[in-house]
Amino acid sequence: MGKILFEDRFDAGRKLAELLKRENHKFKDPIVLGIPRGGVPVGVVVAGELGCELEVIVLRKIPIPQDPEAGFGAVTLDKTVILNQELLEYVKITKEQMEKEIEEVYQEVLRRDVVYRGKRPFPDLKNRSVILIDDGLASGYTMLAAVKFCINKNPERIVAAIPVASDSAAELIGKEVDEFVVLHTSHSFYFAVASFYENFEDMEDEEVIEIIERSNKKNDSEIK
């Protein structure tokens, strides 16, 4: 298992922002997209340090019926479906079960998008630097789905910025984005994102909403 690297998700955000600024990254009209729930507190710190907009990008893993904590892919807001074909070879799941799981997850994605973002249209990503953030990558397939969703929006570039990732997830995502920024890559066979955090409590929807609203109010006051 991993050693403690971060006090909590906000601490991870501070350290990630320091790395982005230290390496003198040049972003064109940047926007931070946090993957809820855990990527939002990381993302709000990065957005604050870079002085850019924070938004939520809602997507969900597709759980394996026999093991809901594990997933065989992910679904995005526009119903892009990314499947872990290698894992599916070992999972006993019928086509009907798969379609049922995908539809249930998609309905939850739609529900969460309304809860987190209300009636706001999804931001225009065309010709912008998109910085995708989560609190960690285990398999990487949720992040991969986020990348595919953003590619369809014609951004100037896509950057995946992550506090910690497994080596397999880092390899998977690193090939799909313009830039992959990670504080720590783990080569351990037994990988768990939570093991790198001192405090890694489950987040509720209300916490995500509060962070987004606080960030929006700050941006509004700065514009005025």
Find the CATH number of the domain harbouring 33.
3.40.50.2020
Distance of alpha carbon 102 from alpha carbon 97, whole angstroms:
9
In a domain, 45, yes or no: yes
pLDDT-flagged residues of the chain (< 70): 1-2, 23-24, 219-224
In a domain, 70, yes or no: no
In this prediction, residue 114 carries a pLDDT of: 95
Distance of alpha carbon 64 from alpha carbon 93, whole angstroms:
8
In this prediction, residue 132 carries a pLDDT of: 98
In a domain, 103, yes or no: no
In a domain, 81, yes or no: no
Name residue 6's amino acid. F
**Count of structural domains within the chain:** 1
> For residue 25, with 0-12 CB atoms within 10 Å meaning exposed, 13-18 middle and 19 or more buried, which class applies?
middle
Could you tell me which of 82, 58, 94 has the C-alpha nearest to residue 139?
Answer: 82
In a domain, 154, yes or no: yes
**pTM for the model:** 0.92
3-class SS letters over 64-112:
ECCEEEEEEEEEECCCCEEECHHHHCCCCCCHHHHHHHHHHHHHHHHHH
In a domain, 68, yes or no: no
In this prediction, residue 223 carries a pLDDT of: 37
In a domain, 142, yes or no: yes
Sheet holding 157-166, edge to edge: 53-56, 31-34, 129-133, 157-166, 179-186
Give residue 26's domain range. Answer: 9-57+124-223
In a domain, 1, yes or no: no
